[in-house]
Structure 1
Amino acid sequence: MTTSYEEVFRASTEDPEGFWLAAAGAIDWDVAPTRALDDSRAPFYHWYPDGRLNVCHNALDRHVDAGRGDQPALVHDSPVTGTTRTYTYAELRDEVARFAGVLAGLGVGRGDRVVIYMPMVPEAAIAMLACARIGAVHSVVFGGFAANELAVRIDDAAPKVVVSASCGIEGSRVMRYKPLLDRAVELAAHKPEKCVVLQRPQYEGELGPRDVDWAAAVRDAEPVPCVPVAATDPLYVLYTSGTTGRPKGVVRDSGGYAVALRWSMEAVYDIGPGEVMFTASDVGWVVGHSYIVYGPLLAGATTVLYEGKPVGTPDAGQFWRVAAEYGVKTLFTAPTAFRAIKKADPEGEFTKGYDLSGLKYLFLAGERLDPETYHWASDLLGIPVLDHWWQTETGWPIVANPAGIELAPVRPGSPTWPLPGWDVQVLDPSGKPVPAGEDGAIVVKLPMPPGALPTLWNDDDRFVASYLSAYDGYYLTGDGGHVDEDGYVFVMGRTDDVINVAGHRLSTGGMEEVLASHPDVAECAVIGVADSLKGQIPRGFVVLKAGAERAESEVEAELVQLVRDRIGAVASLKDVAVVAALPKTRSGKILRRTMRGIADGRDEPVPSTVDDVTVLDALRPVLTGRKDAKDGTDAKDGSHSQDGTHSQDEKEAKGAQG
């Protein structure tokens, strides 16, 4: 690595071709690329157009060939089953090669699609890597997604095979996947030829004529070698869900992604061969693809695959236990996970039982890291707490504090600097750059670097319409914010979270910062709702920390005054409600758009990604003006959720089980 961020970034800007060709040198190629970027079909850019490689070889075989086959590659830690298992690189390669043989025996070849619908078990990563090994395109669907949502993805990807498990475990509940899978295949117009099912002891599904038992198939299979593919061939398709309509299938290429991830592991996360990274996410999300499976293995590191939650399985100390037991150097999770830990253990007592001396960095992404959570984590751990910002579409971070190059002084509320290849700009509605410090739409000048999506699956027109049409020559991130005079990027939230109050444009993220700074607040959300007089007015919702014993009305009044003191009367935040929980997606994003639609009186559909539909149901009366459900009681049927683990998908699963 070059010695300073400024030097690295300047090198990537002045000679991007040379910079990214040099970065490609860290990857094994069957045919090394002679050029980095093909821009002949802009805005459809392609990286390493004449290169050929296999991503599975780079993730596994190359490390075994280099004599490091005995090094741990993947650790599976499952507090929900009370089991752990460690795979060396040689063991993981052999498992992957054998399951690749299963897929090949079922007729799966280069370019064929395989949908993977699994919980956080090693076999999920094995299935992903097995697809990469034979040049097939995998599409991971979050385990437990509702049957109709899985059916939509099956129809779009048209897989030859679906790989699933009989069940997943959500907290203390067994969630039966097999009935959901059966229903999804029934609903889908496209019928996969076979479904490979991993039977788990917590629930064994009934196998039908289309089904293949994982264990039996692997036992009889022959391992197969890696199949070289073009760098521009797709490695996977990952669907992003909207509240309505067909989901968008983000395409990830093979060569550019491998290069970008390999580069980012060292430059951003400071992880090298033999070091341990614990990414507490799920393989159903982009974070799980990039930094549980592919990134750490491409770097020759050890990755921890965790089947559990930050709290409740069984306590708020599990991240610290995992970090201590496996010698984790870099921990990466979502801010919402830390807000949950802070809520359950405000004083951080659980850290005292574990040796965390090996933990060097905490990285957070997925939703804006509010300064209050930053300070809490930083004070508790005494290590760099590093926000960074990226998206499913980009595949790896856009803006980060690059621990492996040069750690910049942290500015709470900012994920720091754009990484090489990302020309981040802030534009006004007319497309003109805004002055430093002023908010606008955050965009990226084309072309984006290796690893970013080249298009959407079978839908070039939608790719252009969704991302490239708002500002000519730019990728629209959909986020708003500003860049300060020192180049620090501040991402304040989605552009539709900027509200217009009596002609004043106000960021709900700024108001959330103020609410989160209150000592009794664990997490919060501010939304803009329609108002006949002012156009929009803000409404705040807060969850209090465990042990907070003051009257809710007292806290609410203090919060209203706090916003008035720090932002001014123009903020007009007069309605703050204490609630039991905030509705979120399974990746931890608060469902602000859904909340806003309900508050505005629309018949807002429940997103397929909702983590716990009862939380949203409990909040509806508050959103619509009644405050009779603040204790978490379901306004519809009077049921009470004790731990927030009842999900829409569990309800559907129970229905499918009859």
Structure 2
Amino acid sequence: MALRLRLTSIQCIERSCKWMGFASIKYNRSDSNSASPACLSHRRSASTTPFPEFPDSKTHEELYKFSLDHPETFWGTLARSRLTWSKNFTSVTDSSFKEQKFGWFHGGELNASVNCVDRHLKERADKPALIWEVDEPGKEIVYSYRKLSEMVGQIGNMLKNSGVKAGDRVTIYLSNSPIAVATMLACARIGAIHNVVFAGFSAEALATRINNAQSETVITANTILRGGKLIPAKSTVDAAVSHCSCVKRVFVHYRTDTEVPLGKLDINMDEAMAAESTDCVVQDRQSEDTLFMLYTSGSTGAPKGLIHSTAGYLLYANVTFKHAFDYQVGERFGCVADIGWITGHSYVLYGPLSNGATTLLFESTPQYPDPGRYWEMVERLKLNHIYLSPTALRLLLKSGDDYVKKYNRSSLRKLGCVGEPLNHQAWEWFYDVVGEKRCDIIDTWWQTGALCIKNPWPGMARSIYGNHKRFLETYFTNAPGFYYTGDGAQRTDSGYFQITGRMDDVLNVSGHRLGTAEIEDVMDDHPDVSETAIVGFPHDIKGEGIYAYAVLKDGRTKSKKELEFELRDLIKKRIGGLALPEIILV
């Protein structure tokens, strides 16, 4: 997955609201999460100049204009009214692209687990926080906010008593489950930084992320259930940890009754939790302290751990969930993304729970036991929102309308899509068939960073021969006011830029961003291979498929069939099945 950040700006809320037909949005200071009167008076005294009045009820266009004209008042008011703080912030932001400063809500302190769980206990303790749609068809397990709070407390104490401290990185290799959500929130509660790795990655890919993060703690399960199949998660972790000298402890949750051998680093997580109190002391975090890290799959071949701040990320997830998706109190929100991706972080966990919503945890696959799985789930759970990927839509579209229409979908109010471009045919099917032409579609857009240059230089190109319009469109429209190189880049601590390759060298396969260089590096390690190249091609289901070219060394003895098998096996072991090429051309 490449740099899959939050919804890019308030403009994304604007587009989403227009798609949903909003006439206006209200940001009301009497919100259930509103700040105390002291907080509001602090807002007014924090600056020597008077704040413009925040519009309680305006048209969306007026509110959007206000956000551009008075961004500090806009975000500052939302931060104080929508989040719970243990210490008020003294300034809204000192961010500047020009000065490369990105700080928000300085001086403030808060805790993400308090905002997602504790503050809802007074009014919503016995209301559902999580609906766990287990892999087995037709079954769900509901967890209340009270139960979630107890699990978070037990896991937080378990981690602290095992030596985990604030700022430590904890790697989580679990599928969508309440134990995974509670573990992420427990890390937030004690100030640890969670590093969730998609539980489809190989042992080598997992080891790379553990070592880069220098995680002393890993949390996994004995097995993972997906699509009726048992996936040996613990053996994958064992293989990874054997290459990670930094790891001191591995907690093993028992998802099934399958016995797995426990080594000297391993701890039975269920037993360790049971011995702990449900009351865990909160570690307050400064606004810019890291909440979590999440690894990309970049074009350099080396995954990059992107970090997200506590206050800024939490506020943005909270606000976009509420307003971009038009969440209404009491609704059931069904995002089927895996927690190993940023969508799962934002719209399975932090966005819904910080709003006191009921959120879905989908453990299975869209075609298990048949292509009606999503729609049967919508009927049974009475979901008001379903948020999925274009890949899933195209996959289910091929199975026809009958699997959809046999189930009652009248509870649905909004449809969401994310991951890759939503093609016209899938959009129409989603709207006409699934939503019965009455549900708005929120097609969310994400961003990837690029290297842009601010000032012209003498030796730069002036045009494209015979097509000056294309020259301007190519290099000056993506980032107005800057020269858009089309290359990705990383900036080192010393201030140097490392060019990571063309922006189109990152493929979008089933909504997962994969670096071409990462796959090429694996194939190049085969002793018979001299050189490789990876490109994408249009794929009816995945959106983009992987096409591999391999140039072989002289004197090889293996057959083409043997070679293809070995190359695919290498990729699966070192990256994971999601990176397997559809075609290998020798």
Q: Same fold (TM over 0.5)?
A: yes
- Is the counterpart of residue 53 in structure 1 residue 98 in structure 2? no
- Cα distance in structure 2, aligned partners of 1:445 and 1:52: 36
Equivalents in 1 of 2:504, 2:576: separation in Å? 33
- Structure-1 residue corresponding to 2:119: 62
In structure 2, the CA distance between the partners of 1:635 and 1:316, relative to structure 1 (3 Å rule), is farther
Task: Pick the aligned partner of 2:322 from 263, 266, 281.
Answer: 266
Pair 363,78 (structure 1): closer, same or farther in 2 beyond 3 Å: same
Is 1:146–2:188 an aligned residue pair?
no
**Range with greater deviation from structure 2 (363-372 or 236-245):** 236-245
In the TM superposition, residue 200 of structure 1 has moved relative to its aligned partner by 2.6
- Give distance in 2, aligned partners of 1:594 and 1:157: 18
Pairs within 5 Å for 1:18-417:
18-24=73-79, 25-39=81-95, 42-65=99-122, 67-80=123-136, 83-188=139-244, 190-201=245-256, 203-223=258-278, 224-242=280-298, 244-311=300-367, 313-343=368-398, 345-346=399-400, 348-380=401-433, 381=435, 382=437, 383-391=439-447
Question: Tell me, what secondary structure is at the counterpart of 1:442?
Answer: coil
Contact 1:272/1:299, CA 8 A, preserved across alignment: no
CA 1:289/1:460 → structure 2, altered by over 3 Å: closer, same or farther?
farther
User: What is the CA distance between 1:79 and its match in structure 2?
Assistant: 3.0
Which structure has more relative contact order (CA 8 Å, sep 6+)? It is 2
Deviation at 1:339, TM superposition (A): 0.6
**Structure 2 residue aligned with 1:417:** none
Give the paired residue count: 474
What stretches of structure 2 of length at least 5 have no aligned partner? 1-25, 27-56, 451-455, 483-488, 524-529, 552-559, 578-586
Change (3 A) 1:496 1:649: closer
1:334 is displaced (CA, Å) by 1.1
Amino acid at match of 2:532: D
**1:18 and 1:156 mapped to 2: Cα distance?**
38
Separation in structure 1 between the aligned mates of residue 498 and residue 382 of structure 2, nearest angstrom: 46
CA–CA distance in structure 2, aligned partners of residues 133 and 340 of structure 1: 39
Paired position in structure 1 for 2:572:
648
Deviations 1:16-39 (A, max 9, x none): 110000110210000121321123
Change beyond 3 A, Cα 1:213–1:145 = same
Cα deviation 1:183-240 (Å, max 9, x = unaligned) = 111112x421111011232633211111110111001112312211101000000000
The alpha-carbon deviation at position 604 of structure 1 amounts to 3.8
How far has the Cα of 1:390 moved from its partner?
A: 1.1
- In structure 2, how many angstroms separate the alpha carbons of the residues matched to 1:595 and 1:651? 8
Asked if structure 1 preserves the Cα contact closer than 8 Å seen for 2:223 and 2:256, the reply is no
User: 3-state SS of the aligned residue for 2:106?
Assistant: coil
DSSP 3-state at the match of 1:196: strand
Residues 369, 40 of structure 1: CA spacing in aligned structure 2 closer, same or farther, 3 A cutoff? closer
Give how far 1:261 is off: 1.2
* Counterpart amino acid of residue 270 in structure 1: D
**Percent of residue pairs bearing the same amino acid type:** 29
**In structure 2, how many angstroms separate the alpha carbons of the residues matched to 1:588 and 1:8?**
34
What's the CA shift string for 1:523-582, capped at 9, x where partnerless?
xxxxxxxxxxxxxxxxxxxxxxxxxxxxxxxxxxxxxxxxxxxxxxxxxxxxxxxxxxxx
2:478 matched residue in structure 1: 442
C-alpha displacement of 1:292: 0.5
Match of 1:401 in 2: none
For residue 305 of structure 1, give the secondary structure of its aligned residue in structure 2: strand
Coordinate RMSD, CA, aligned: 4.1
Q: Is the 8 A contact 1:278 1:303 kept in 2?
A: yes
Choose which of 62, 73, 85 in structure 2 pairs with 1:7. 62
Letter of the 2:428 counterpart: H
| Residue of structure 2 aligned with 1:603, choices 529, 532, 540 | 532
Q: In structure 1, how many angstroms separate the alpha carbons of the residues matched to 2:271 and 2:445?
A: 43
- Counterpart secondary structure, 1:236: strand
Q: Give the Cα–Cα distance (whole angstroms) in 1 for the partners of residues 209 and 151 of structure 2.
A: 27
Aligned twin of 2:71: 16
Provide Cα deviations, 1:101-124, integer angstroms capped at 9, x if missing partner: 110111112111100011122211
1:428-465 CA-partner distances (Å, limit 9, x unpaired): x9899999x9566634999xxxxxxxx99x96568975
Corresponding residue for residue 41 of structure 2: none
Kept in 1: contact 2:170–2:215 (CA 8 A):
yes
**Aligned mates of 2:480, 2:185 — CA distance in 1:** 31
Q: CA, structure 1 residues 83+431, in 2 after alignment: closer, same or farther (shift >3 Å)?
A: farther
Distance 1:205 1:142 in 2: 21
Contact 1:110 1:136 in 2 (8 A): yes
Instruction: Answer whether contact 1:168 1:175 (CA < 8 A) is retained.
Output: yes
Quickly say closer, same or farther: Cα 1:651–1:34, change in 2 above 3 A: closer
SS of 2:117's equivalent in the other structure is: helix
- Cα distance, 1:385 vs. partner? 2.1
Aligned equivalents of 2:447 and 2:182: distance in 1? 24
Unaligned runs of 5+ in 1: 395-426, 447-454, 471-477, 479-493, 498-582, 625-633, 640-645, 654-658
Aligned to 1:491: none
Question: Could you tell me how far apart the structure 1 residues matched to 2:194 and 2:508 are?
Answer: 26
* 1:485-510 deviation per Cα after TM superposition (whole angstroms, max 9, x unaligned): xxxxxxxxx6569xxxxxxxxxxxxx
Q: TM-score, normalised by structure 1?
A: 0.64
CA distance in 2, matches of 1:247, 1:593: 11
SS of the residue 2:478 aligns to: strand
- Give the partner amino acid of 1:22: T
> How far apart are residue 153 of structure 1 and its match?
0.9
Cα distance change of structure 1 residues 234 and 434 upon mapping to structure 2, 3 Å threshold = farther
Paired residues of 1:119 and 1:167 also in contact (CA < 8 A): no
Given that 1:196 and 1:211 are in contact with CA atoms closer than 8 Å, whether structure 2 keeps it comes out as: yes
Shift of 1:586: 6.3
Assess if the C-alpha contact under 8 Å between 1:334 and 1:588 holds in 2: no
Distance 1:71 1:649, change over 3 A: farther
Code of the residue aligned with 1:329 in structure 2: it is: N
Q: For residues 379 and 324 of structure 2, what CA distance do their matches in structure 1 show?
A: 22
Contact 1:176 1:203 in 2 (8 A): no
C-alpha distance in 1 between matches for 2:519 and 2:275: 51
Tell me, yes or no, if the aligned pair for 2:170 and 2:218 is still in contact at 8 Å: yes
Shift of 1:584: 7.0
TM superposition score normalised by structure 2: 0.72
User: Shift in Å at residue 290 of structure 1?
Assistant: 0.4
Q: Report the Cα distance in structure 2 between the residues aligned to 1:68 and 1:205, rounded to whole angstroms.
A: 38
1:490 corresponds in structure 2 to none
Superposition deviation, residue 132 in structure 1: 0.5
